[in-house]
């Protein structure tokens, strides 16, 4: 990361500025622990406008496995071999959430849908599904694989939609600049008594 790509931020939970170093990640990013509430977070972090750039095509497919971006993302996320694994993972996620819901006729939103396997699974069980992702490449792949599902390149904070019965955000919270803002944005798009699953 270049210095001007990063910004120092206060704790997202309690807004204190004081924190102690915990670890330096392999990509050079520093993780700190808030002295006020104990939340651990990256600081300094990439600026908000750079986040979507992280999820461009080379996040999902590496034409060669060298260079600075080779450790970020996947070597070939959209391969047929990986697709089988993604379907199995989607089924495992569904087995967990089905205890809390019956998707039939429910309006469901998947945030960070990637290639669309979980969204497709909900659709097969008669849910009305919208899948969103920051990545244009991921949405293109999802639309190609599962044309019966409504996939959009969008951000939850700007999504204009009727409220949903259930919102899923698997492995998303660690990718957002503000978990607090993210959860607020998701909750206002949820029907009263609806199900929110952020992991």
pLDDT 10s digits, 113-159: 999 999 999 999 999 999 999 999 999 999 999 999 999 999 998 88
Structure tokens at 15: 């807004």
pLDDT of 29 reads: 87
Distance of CA 21 to the CA centre of its chain: 26
Strand-strand pairing, 45-46 and 40-42: unpaired
Q: Is 110 helix (H, G, I), strand (E, B) or coil?
A: strand
Q: Alpha carbon of 64 to those of 74, 83, 115, 137, 150: distances in Å?
A: 11, 20, 21, 18, 32
Please, are residues 119 and 149 in contact by the beta-carbon 8 Å criterion? Answer: yes
pLDDT of 68 reads: 47
pLDDT of 72 reads: 67
Q: Alpha carbon of 94 to those of 41, 104, 118: distances in Å?
A: 29, 13, 8
Mean of the per-residue pLDDT values for the chain? 89
**Rounded to an integer, what distance in angstroms lies between the CA atom of residue 49 and that of residue 180?**
18
Q: Please name the residue ranges forming H helices in 24-160.
A: 48-51, 57-60, 80-97, 117-124, 136-145
pLDDT of 65 reads: 52
- The residue count of the chain comes to 199
Q: What are phi and psi of 194, to 5 degrees?
A: -75, 175
Q: What is the dihedral of CA 111, 99, 149, 92, to 10 degrees?
A: 80
In tens, the pLDDT along 28-45 reads 889 999 999 999 999 998
Residue 157 buriedness (CB in 10 A; 0-12 / 13-18 / 19+): middle
Place 169 in a pLDDT band, splitting at 50, 70 and 90. very high
**Rounded to an integer, what distance in angstroms lies between the CA atom of residue 183 and that of residue 178?**
9
**Bridge partner residues of 20 (DSSP):** 33
Whether residue 67 is predicted with pLDDT greater than 70 in this model: the reply is no
pLDDT of 37 reads: 94
Residue 49 buriedness (CB in 10 A; 0-12 / 13-18 / 19+): exposed
Is pLDDT larger for residue 133 or for residue 64?
Answer: 133
| Maximum average pLDDT range among 15-19, 89-93, 154-158 | 89-93
Average pLDDT over residues 50-71: 67
Q: pTM of the predicted model, to two decimals?
A: 0.86
């Amino acid at each position: 990361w270049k210095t001007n790509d990063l910004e120092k931020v206060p704790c997202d939970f309690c807004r204190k500025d004081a924190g102690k170093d915990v670890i330096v990640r392999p990509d050079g990013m520093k993780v700190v622990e808030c002295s006020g509430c104990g939340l651990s977070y990256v600081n300094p972090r990439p600026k908000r406008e750079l986040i979507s750039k992280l999820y461009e095509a080379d996040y999902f497919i590496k034409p060669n496995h060298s260079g600075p971006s080779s450790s970020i993302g996947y070597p070939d996320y959209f391969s047929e071999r990986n697709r089988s694994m993604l379907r199995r993972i989607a089924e495992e996620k569904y087995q967990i959430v089905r205890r809390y819901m019956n998707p039939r006729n429910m309006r469901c939103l998947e945030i960070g849908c990637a290639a669309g396997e979980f969204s497709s699974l909900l659709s097969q069980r008669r849910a009305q599904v919208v899948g969103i992702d920051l990545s244009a490449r991921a949405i293109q792949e999802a639309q190609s694989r599962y044309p019966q599902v409504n996939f959009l390149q969008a951000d939850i904070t700007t999504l204009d939609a009727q409220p949903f019965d259930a919102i899923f955000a698997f492995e998303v919270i660690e990718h957002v600049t503000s978990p607090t803002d993210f959860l607020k944005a998701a909750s206002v798009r949820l029907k009263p008594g609806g199900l929110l699953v952020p992991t």
